[in-house]
Amino acid sequence: MTTVKTLVLLLALAPPVEVEEGLAAKYPGDVGLRDDPSVLLFEDFEQEPKKAAWMKPGGWFDQEFKPGSGCEVTDQVPAAAGKRCLQFNLKKSKQGSGGMFHLVKPVDTLYFRYYRMFEKEWEWPKGYGPHDGMVFGGTWDAPTKTDLSIYVDFWQSADTVARIATAKQKIGYDGWNDWLKKRDRLAPVGGNGFAWNRSKPDKIEPGKWHCVEVMVKLSAPGKEDGAVRLWVNGKLVSEYSDLPLRDENHPDLLLNMIFLAPYFHPGSPKDQVHWADQIVVATRYVGPVRKP
């Protein structure tokens, strides 16, 4: 039996994936979650987001939050929790309408959870991407030129996928597909050869909130013991625990920044809006918002 047939059979026989509760289950509606000692960053958009200067701690940088601009805080749609969320105003033919960076205390294990929603009449741009959230480690020159980038993509065009790039390490930017292929890991998702998820994530449904959480645990320098996991709506869909995320030339690399920057390579087919809410970066699994 071919590997693909075996994989299809295993997926068909696999029991339904269960929703995992995490830290958020202790804080219904995410109320009080910001003060949990495991939380490194909490943004629910209930107050005006804090701003910071470029590459400075304590706030978001590289993004304005202004009514009618590319990015604004709104109470005009049901939020994922609370009353307010962030709205991206994407214009026809544009690839994005904003990108927001935030530094976090450098750590070797990090969980990044957030919610996304797309308008009911949403039309996905055709083609490559889109990229959505990212976790960065080590030095940074550009989103594609880092020591370590973990991408959350809504690939082709409503499947949630976590990917790795290490432009300034030994494997390089594009080396990861080859690394996975050599280990006989094939792609149940996307249809484009990407080898990332082990089971099919919930598709993004326009008009409904979609919860994503990516976990990164760095490897020991030069070892293949790093991990990346991805949960979609609290269900684990990707899990790798033998990854070389830090080569021997980067022993001091730590996870130090997140980025939310929906980027639609082919450009939007029309003016349309999408939303984000309840961003949490923590040192423990966060999980979906517990209903208050």
CB-nearer residue toward Ca ion: 146 or 233: 233
Structure tokens belonging to residue 103: 């530094």
Rounded CA-CA distance 84/250 in Å is 40
Helix ranges (DSSP H) in the chain: 3-13, 175-182
CB-nearer residue toward Ca ion: 77 or 220: 77
Least distance to Ca ion, CB of residue 170, Å: 41
Can you tell me which of 17, 33, 39, 79 binds Ca ion, judged by CB under 5 A? 79
CB-nearer residue toward Ca ion: 72 or 277: 277
Least distance to Ca ion, CB of residue 105, Å: 23
Cβ atoms of 190 and 156 within 8 Å: the answer is yes
The residue whose Cβ lies closest to Ca ion is: 82
Least distance to Ca ion, CB of residue 262, Å: 17
Rounded CA-CA distance 46/79 in Å is 10
- Residue 82, interface with Ca ion (CB under 5 A)? yes
Least distance to Ca ion, CB of residue 84, Å: 5
CB-nearer residue toward Ca ion: 71 or 253: 71
CB-nearer residue toward Ca ion: 153 or 277: 277
The owner of tokens 């809504």 is: 154
- Residue 194 DSSP one-character state: -
Choices 85-93, 175-183, 239-247, 282-290 (CB under 5 A): range interacting with Ca ion: 85-93
- Residue 277, interface with Ca ion (CB under 5 A)? yes
Positions in 219-238 near Ca ion (CB under 5 A): none
The owner of tokens 């979906």 is: 288
CB-nearer residue toward Ca ion: 82 or 288: 82
H or E element that contains 263: strand 255-263
Can you tell me which of 44, 132, 153, 159 binds Ca ion, judged by CB under 5 A? 44
Q: Which of 276, 277, 278, 271 lies closest to 89, judged by CA? A: 271
CB-nearer residue toward Ca ion: 155 or 209: 209
H or E element that contains 107: strand 100-107
Q: Which of 172, 148, 142, 147 lies closest to 162, judged by CA? A: 148
End-to-end CA distance of the chain: 49
Structure tokens belonging to residue 196: 């990332």
- Residue 165, interface with Ca ion (CB under 5 A)? no
Choices 45-53, 65-73, 115-123, 150-158 (CB under 5 A): range interacting with Ca ion: 45-53
Q: What is the binding site for Ca ion (CB under 5 A)?
A: 44-45, 79, 82, 85, 277
